[in-house]
Chains A and B, each alone.
Chain A
Amino acid sequence: MISFGRRKSPAIEETSLATSVMEAWRLPLSPSIRGKLISAGYTCLSSIASVSSSDLARDANITEEEAFEILKLANQSCCNGSRSLINGAKNAWDMLHEEESLPRITTSCSDLDNILGGGISCRDVTEIGGVPGIGKTQIGIQLSVNVQIPRECGGLGGKAIYIDTEGSFMVERALQIAEACVEDMEEYTGYMHKHFQANQVQMKPEDILENIFYFRVCSYTEQIALVNHLEKFISENKDVKVVIVDSITFHFRQDYDDLAQRTRVLSEMALKFMKLAKKFSLAVVLLNQVTTKFSEGSFQLALALGDSWSHSCTNRVILYWNGDERYAYIDKSPSLPSASASYTVTSRGLRNSSSSSKRVKMM
């Protein structure tokens, strides 16, 4: 776990302290030591259990003996909860089966689903970046609708968290996409008519809107506070299967004087997203903006937030124009080959492009 340096802006420090009281803090420690641990950024048992006593002593400004005692307590708590790091080891065969059984969230564009290995992967953090107007928000809305497709229709039957930092989420557009999704499901149900019971509950577009938890975030302080709060929120809403951040970038491109601190804040945020994805078996989708980067004597397009951010996502998808077609390219993934696919944005949402099917109205 990356701990904060001593220089912190008051807003971030206040945020960290305020949200850390939500953690299940079970160790029997004195208040002063607990305060030191929290100030150093150690808010979870697992973060303590995975460091050495000397690191803990240095970070939290406590003695080696105190650090050793804390580690002993933390490890005991982990063992008691059957969450020992050593006991948690799995063999690769079990992991393979587990991964193959994980459902994926369809994008409603089969060409795009194909290069993604079936759709957006749960337990992963996926970054999607591109220029303005390429369709990032459309993909975000589509995923927050599609995650709710019932299991019997091949979906996850989950709910969505939509974190909007740019104000681009439009309810009318979400409703439009939801209505199209319901129509598609009804059509699908018609084909599979024999296999359904008579009392099958039909989804309505309003239900789909109700299952999107929408947060409008107007500053990076609010963004940090919300990300810190997500674990508690998802614990109380266990059906959540996708978290979409549209965009991860916007508030961090403002007047942020301390770039090193920005990197630390973003890294901690990314780590929290990874933990959420693994712990709750949900997909995290981070939308990112594009900027120009000067390297090797010329300007090139690059995703915003720089190289240190590149390591924060499991999968990276880049959206771009090729002529009059929108394309998606798998730029980084441990399990997917590099590939590209075309897609289009229609009044019904994301679909295959017109070159691979009948012409549809371009958004």
Chain B
Amino acid sequence: MQNGKIKPENLLRRSPTNRKLTTGCEILDGCLRGGISCDSLTEIVAESGCGKTQLCLQLSLCTQLPISHGGLNGSSLYLHSEFPFPFRRLHQLSHTFHQSNPSIYANYNDNPCDHVFVQNVHSVDHLFDIMPRIDGFVGNSKTRFPLKLIVLDSVAALFRSEFDNTPSDLKKRSSLFFKISGKLKQLASKFDLAIVITNQVTDLVETSDGLSGLRIGNLRYLYSSGRRVVPSLGLAWANCVNSRFFISRSDGSIVKDRSEKDENCSSSVSRSAKRRLDIVFSPYLPGSSCEFMITREGICAVQA
């Protein structure tokens, strides 16, 4: 609804598919039917060390790709609530990205890190302070790379310590979930942004009413590192995202055949744990999964 007029959108004028942001890995993109959807809130849930931040950094760089290459021809804003921000890893990925896509930067003498904006967020109130500035920032942008991706890593950290376990605080916390989601979705709709939010998991503690293990989405149970887990922030937050992807970790290793080409990094490759991404729910994706590993160059899927 623009300019105060109440008129329906013409669905034919819309693109038949939402724009997608490539993950930088063709197999993963196939599983996600092109990548992360614009004008939508996508949540990535995983335990610590599973690669969700790796994936977000990779998305931040891929945003700069031209649309013909699955990018959004834009810049990204990385809101991080956990310290420290992995600048070293960003530079490492950026170096590889620059080498793989020299034509994007040749005429401008810049580098991929110039188009990743980093902002720390230390509380919910701080996040609400930042939101109007994001709106102004996107609306007034005159750079060659307008803002196209917002990452919030992670949302659970914002709620870790501020709220007690009293009914009134739980209620307030829940309404803040919806307020955050509402504002982010408004930004996504207004500027056709892709928004990615990471969330953590907690171990499942069985309760007598059976609600703690309530099934949400395509997977009856979520396991990671051999333990049953549930996404943080509970059922209320699950109502706030459009899609939920779950990354899990198994204890197995991927052993590559040693060859001359792989000689230099075979030791690091062979020590990589196998990760798996599952689509828990989404309004446009079937339940499916994809295995991947994390290498020096970034996230790389494993052909099954």
A-to-B contact residues, CB < 8 Å: 131-133, 137-138, 161, 166-175, 206, 209-210, 212-219, 222, 225-226, 229, 233, 249-251, 253-256, 289-292, 294, 298-301, 304, 321, 323-324, 347, 361-363
Q: Is the CB of A133 within 8 A of B218?
A: yes
**A131 with B235: CB separation less than 8 A:** yes
Are B175 and A167 neighbours in the complex by a CB distance under 8 Å? no
Contact assessment for B1 and A131 in the assembled complex, using a CB-CB cutoff below 8 Å: no
Query: Does B216 sit within 8 A of A, measured CB to CB?
Result: yes
Q: Identify which of B167, B217, B281, B284 contacts A172 (C-beta below 8 A).
A: B284
Q: Which residues of B contact A213 (CB under 8 A)?
A: 8
Residues of B within 8 A of A289 (CB): 239
Chain B interfacial residues counted at CB < 8 A: 52
Alpha-carbon gap, A324 to B236, bound state (A)? 22
In Å, the complex CA distance between A254 and B176 comes to 6
Complex CA distance for A225 and B5, rounded to whole angstroms:
10
Further 11 A-B residue pairs, CB within 8 A, beyond A209-B12, A291-B236: A131-B216, A133-B238, A161-B8, A169-B283, A212-B11, A214-B9, A216-B1, A229-B6, A250-B178, A253-B178, A292-B234
Contact of B242 among A138, A168, A254, A321 (CB under 8 A): A168
The docked-state distance in angstroms from the alpha carbon of A133 to that of B236 is 13
Stretch at the interface among B73-81, B149-157, B180-188, B262-270: B180-188
Beta-carbon contact of B11 and A209 below 8 Å: yes
Contact A166 B6, beta carbon cutoff 8 Å: no
A117 CB, min distance to chain B CBs, angstroms: 28
Is A167 a contact partner of B284 (Cβ separation < 8 A)?
no
Asked if A215 contacts B6 (CB within 8 A), the reply is yes
Q: Which of B1, B175, B189 contacts A254 (CB under 8 A)?
A: B175
Q: Min CB distance, B223 to chain A, in Å? A: 16
Q: Which residues of B are found within 8 Å of A361, using beta-carbon distances?
A: 286
- Asked if B175 and A256 make an inter-chain contact with CB atoms under 8 angstroms apart, the answer reads yes
How far is A217 from B182 in the complex, measured between Cα atoms in Å? 10
Binary flags per residue of B30-73, CB closer than 8 Å to A gives 1, else 0: 00000001011100000000000000000000000000000000
* Interchain CA distance A158-B9 in the complex, whole Å: 18
Is there contact, CB below 8 Å, between A226 and B11? no
Q: Do A218 and B217 have beta carbons less than 8 Å apart?
A: no
Pairs of residues from A and B, 5 with the lowest C-beta to C-beta distance, nearest first: A133-B281, A133-B217, A213-B8, A170-B284, A209-B11
Q: In the bound complex, do residue B281 and residue A294 qualify as a contact, i.e. CB atoms below 8 Å apart?
A: no
Interchain nearest-CB distance for B189 vs A (Å): 6
Docked Cα-Cα span, A168 to B208, in Å, equals 33
Q: Which of A218, A229, A254 contacts B179 (CB 8 A)?
A: A254
Residues of A within 8 A of B16 (CB): 171-172, 175
Beta-carbon contact of B17 and A172 below 8 Å: yes
For A226, the chain B residues whose CB sits under 8 A away are: 1, 6
B261 within 8 A of A: no
Q: Does B228 contact A (CB under 8 A)?
A: no
In the assembled complex, which residues on chain A have CB atoms less than 8 Å from the CB atom of B37? Answer: 170
| Chain A positions within 8 Å of B236 at CB level | 253, 291
- Asked if B235 and A167 sit within 8 Å, CB to CB, the answer is no
Is B182 within 8 A of A174, CB to CB? no
Smallest beta-carbon distance A61→chain B, Å: 30
Q: Does A137 contact B11, Cβ atoms closer than 8 Å?
A: no
